[in-house]
Amino acid sequence: MPDAKPFLVANATAVLPHRVLKPEKIGPHPTVVMIHGYLGNEDVMWIFSQTLPKEWLLVAPRAIVQEQEDSYSWHPPQRDEWPTLTDFDTAVDQLIKFLDSLPEQYEADPEQIYLMGFSQGAAAAFAIAIREPERIKGIASLVGFMPRQVEDAIDTAALSDLPVFMAVGKEDDSVPLEIARESGKAVRAMGAFLEYREYDTGHKLNGAGMRKLRQWWAERAALLTQL
């Protein structure tokens, strides 16, 4: 789809405003839901689409709390503390409804739904998978973190065997390395099949991180062709 561009859907029937890039072929489609971070919107995640398998359905929803013009968040502002799992409850409710709408609207394959979240968006992705792990086939966490107070999810191995890629910036001043490492330990303690990588960068992916992300998605696509 060299000429295809993601288009905006923001009408009254949309569960969440979003941009979508739909494959030309007939579905059902493996699907990546790209979840932006704090003060982002449905436009900012498309830089990462270059790493994703061709002919997959790509969807980027807009978060639920407006912070500024064209800037949104997945939970209300926090004061000097990291958000807990319950802080994402409203976002998870809306995102699950959004996932439910994708098969009928865009021929998404409900058995092949993947999440890719940046920063706070990665935390939202983990919250979805903890709530309803059977819905999600894999998560790519880009300079993200795990919400606090996930002891029950650890005790029940809530992410058992879920493929997870975590890209971490060693010089990140938004998600400090200590928090990122704690998050990686929590993901692994929940039973996920974790690939954890640290990069010499800040709150972003550098070239090495983008190359590894592309490889991780290629591995997901290759496994799918074997089914």
Number of domains in the chain: 1
Distances (CA, A) of 3 to 24, 63, 145, 199, 218: 11, 27, 35, 33, 22
1 assigned to some structural domain: no
22 assigned to some structural domain: yes
pLDDT value of position 3: 59
- DSSP H stretches of helix in 55-176: 89-106, 120-131, 151-155
Give the pLDDT confidence of 147-181 residue by residue, as tens digits. 999 999 999 999 999 999 999 999 999 999 999 99
Domain harbouring 59, CATH code? 3.40.50.1820
Where in the sequence is the domain holding 29, given as residue range(s)?
Answer: 7-67+83-225
103 assigned to some structural domain: yes
221 assigned to some structural domain: yes
183 assigned to some structural domain: yes
165 assigned to some structural domain: yes
Rg (CA), the chain: 16
Take residue 10 and report the two structure tokens written for it: 């923001």
36 assigned to some structural domain: yes
pLDDT above 90: residue 4? no
Give the pLDDT confidence of 191-214 residue by residue, as tens digits. 999 999 999 999 999 999 999 999
134 assigned to some structural domain: yes
